[in-house]
Chains A and B, each alone.
Chain A
Amino acid sequence: MAQYITRRLLNMVITLALISVISFAIIQLPPGDYLTSYIAQLRAAGEEVNEELIESLRMQYGLGKTPVQQYFKWVWNFLQGNMGQSFIYDRPVNDLIWERLGLTFVIATASLVFTWLLALPIGIYSAVRQYSFGDYLFTFLSFIGLAVPNFMLALALMFAGFKWLGMDVGGLFSVEYESAPWSIAKFVDLLEHLWVPTVVLGTAGTAALVRIMRANLLDELRKLYVITARAKGVAEKRLIIKYPVRIALNPFISSVGWILPTLISGATITAIVLNLPTTGPMLVDALLQQDMFLAGSFIMMLSTLTVIGMLISDVMLVLADPRIRIGMANE
């Protein structure tokens, strides 16, 4: 086990190194360097451009050096926790990223729990009662859930909330709590707003997971051990929950890994429509205005989270599934 985790950690380092190259390439891609656009921006705002400031920025980012040197400079700074300066907000990227990442993580976790709570019973029901009316209904619904773009659902929920409940469901906080320090009241307020993005983001994931759960469980139900248990007179409910469901659960565990990037991607658009203070809108803004340090660091951080998520889900899979564990021991 320890050996497995060490090997995975080593792989993770390589993966992250490659991702950092891609993230840096994204920073570098736009024509011209970020300083030129920064200066142009300052000039457009009618501000005096300070030659000294430019020179110091040039030094800090190692402009004028080769891209390879710049890359290592960026990585070195990144490892020390200095992700550079955001030009739009005129603040260090670090400050900006942490608060947003935190809220993104909250939403992603809430959606994941929502997805599980919904997908597990529906998937079991669909498999056990295959071709029943309920199965067809859920199959149909899950296809719709896959096909409807998240932002459409977000708009529909916002509209419904606005029209019939008379509430403003956009954002994560009410106006009075937006810049207030954390308190119990603010937390309650967050919970009140959290359900819309949770439902919106959870639906697509739920649909996919129901399909997988149903298919896996159907495969298991046909196996001989199920028939044996039934022949021996094990009560149907207990039989299904105790044996085949446990094995079919594996995709739920691995979903921790792949659902995170999906949620983050989905969250980007939904967050814009719902006006959430998460990473999505800030990333789009950064990209549109070529605030490349902010954008590159975001992509790097999101990918890092994803890679860690994948590692956790793989380790959990090993812990949960004796077949994998024993297979590894035999190797």
Chain B
Amino acid sequence: MSNVADLDRPTDAAEREDARDIAYASQWRLVFIRLRRHRLAVASGIVLAALYLMAAFAPFLSPHDPTEKSLEYREAPPQRLRFVSDQGVHLRPFVYPFTATTNRVSFKRDYHDDRAQPYPLRFFVRGYRYKLLFVFESDIHLFGTGVAEVPVHLLGTDHLGRDMLARVMYGAQISLSVGLVGVAISFVLGILIGGLAGYFGGFVDEAVQRVVEVLLSIPQLPLWMGLSAALPLSWPVVRMYFAITVILSLVGWTRLAREVRGKFLSLRGEDYVVAAQVAGMRDLPIIFRHMVPSFLSHIVASLTLSIPLMIIGETSLSFLGLGMQAPAISWGVLLQSAQKVQTLELAPWLMIPALYVIVTVLAFNFLGDGLRDAADPYGQT
């Protein structure tokens, strides 16, 4: 706040430049400047960027096809990356291949390192063919042993011998994007409906309020479950995906609409809105050109906070078997196998997708918190 006053004080040129910058910066720039000082939010932003890049480049980053089954390596534990072998220290990380035997008593597979020959990790090796970002076709992968008989399973495998690392990365594509698409839908609905209610008031407001109240008073998860149980299982993955996002945002828009409505109610009497009305501007342009920009940064912050709710929603639905279904890969689908306490005992690495969920949700919460502070016009600059 004090920056404008500071202009008069003789300081060095750079600082003055900075202060002048803030005095004339646009609102978005101010938000950005403030956000940059929020270390936790910045770090969370970086983590999220990394996660989304991981999802986008999943085929390139993952050493194995996520659907490739292997009877030889089912429920194999995570392989260790090593630097020290019997022959000495290696500069390049390497893995030992597994030899598997079936335990005659428990019928469990036992895995032992075959220490005879270390297989160094090679970069940019050829593997299964894939299409990157819907366009680029390739068969080059970031890393692998380069030997087809020796797989690398850094996060272990599931009960069908599919590589967990690849599945987590592919799962991120659905799990991470559900939140974004869902929020986009909620955003449009929330601004439109909340805006209309707040702007017109009266009967429209009353009706919208009632609908919002009804949707909010039905317990969220049962409502989602009820709606998604109606989706035919025979639907292709893409259609299922959109249906689920629509269901998730069906509840999501209500909170946003409430917030927008409140903002509109307080802005409706402002001079500039009245001026626009007097000047003969029509309602929708007033809403979108003059009113929405004045609280958009605030809305963005609350949108960021509602993304993790949707991610948890998708995960929960899929976890229960009511969301995405088996051929599709999402974090919730992966966690279906982690429903039993035995999993923790026998194959704890199957719980790894949950760590990704936790990190993602935490990062979105921190980022959203930072954004909210930064977007607060009465906060400190």
Is B a genuine binding partner of A? Answer: yes
Chain A interface (Cβ within 8 Å of chain B)? 11, 14-15, 18-19, 22-23, 26, 29-31, 143-144, 146-149, 151-152, 155-156, 158-159, 162, 170, 260-262, 264-266, 268-269, 272-273, 283-284, 287-288, 290, 295-296, 298-299, 302-303, 306-307, 310
Question: What separation, in Å, do the CA atoms of A162 and B340 have in the docked complex?
Answer: 13
B12 CB within 8 Å of chain A: no
Q: How far is the CA of A149 from the CA of B220 in the complex (A)?
A: 15
A26 and B339 form a contact (CB under 8 A): no
Q: Is the interface of B mostly helix, strand, loop or mixed?
A: helix
Q: Are A295 and B229 in contact (CB under 8 A)?
A: yes
Q: Is the interface of A mostly helix, strand, loop or mixed?
A: helix
Shortest CB-to-CB span from A293 to chain B, Å, is 12
Q: Which residues of A sit under 8 angstroms from B351, Cβ to Cβ?
A: 152, 155
**B25 within 8 Å of A by Cβ?**
no
Docked complex Cα distance between A19 and B212 (Å)? 11
Asked if B308 is at the interface of the complex by the 8 Å CB criterion, the answer is yes
Are B315 and A149 neighbours in the complex by a CB distance under 8 Å?
yes
A158, A288, A310: the one within 8 Å of B341 (CB): A158
User: Which residues of chain B have a CB within 8 Å of any CB of chain A?
Assistant: 210-211, 213-214, 216-223, 225-227, 229-230, 232, 308, 312, 315-316, 319-322, 338-339, 341, 343-345, 351, 354, 357-358, 361-362, 365-366
- Complex contacts, B217 vs chain A, CB 8 Å: 15, 19, 261, 303, 306-307, 310
Cα A152 to Cα B338 in complex, Å, equals 9
Q: Is the beta-carbon distance between B218 and A22 smaller than 8 angstroms? A: yes
Contact between A149 and B321, CB atoms less than 8 A apart: no
Q: Is the CB of A18 within 8 A of B210?
A: yes
When C-beta atoms are compared, the residue in chain B nearest to A22 turns out to be B218
**B341, A15: Cβ atoms closer than 8 Å:** no
**Closest Cβ of chain A: how far from B257's Cβ, in Å?**
16
Q: By the criterion CB–CB under 8 Å, are A29 and B230 in contact? A: yes
Chain A nearest Cβ from B381, distance in angstroms: 19
Contact assessment for B365 and A147 in the assembled complex, using a CB-CB cutoff below 8 Å? yes
Knowing A14-B210, A15-B214, say if A268 contacts B221 (CB, 8 Å).
yes
Residue in A152, A158, A264, A288 whose CB lies within 8 Å of B219: A264
On chain B, the residues within 8 Å of A272 by CB distance are 320, 339
Beyond A26-B229, A268-B225, 18 additional contacts (C-beta under 8 Å) are: A19-B214, A23-B226, A26-B227, A144-B358, A149-B316, A151-B339, A152-B358, A159-B345, A162-B341, A170-B341, A261-B218, A264-B219, A265-B221, A266-B221, A273-B339, A288-B229, A288-B322, A303-B217
B244 to chain A, nearest CB (A): 14
CA A282 to CA B284, docked complex, whole Å: 47
With most chain B CB atoms within 10 A of its CB, the pick from A23, A144, A287, A303 is A287
Inter-subunit contact A147/B214 (CB<8 Å): no
From A11, A30, A170, A268, give the contact of B222 (CB < 8 A).
A268
Chain B residue nearest to A266 (CB atoms) is B221
Nearest 4 CB-CB pairs, A to B?
A: A29-B230, A265-B221, A287-B229, A26-B226
Say whether A147 contacts B210, CB under 8 Å.
Answer: no
When distances are taken between beta carbons in the complex, the residues of chain B under 8 Å from A264 are 219, 221-222
Q: Are A265 and B210 in contact (CB under 8 A)?
A: no
Q: Is the CB–CB distance between A287 and B226 below 8 Å?
A: yes
Report if A26-B210 is in contact (Cβ < 8 Å); known contacts: A19-B218, A162-B341: no
Question: Known contacts being A29-B230, A288-B322, is A146 close to B341, with CB within 8 Å?
Answer: no
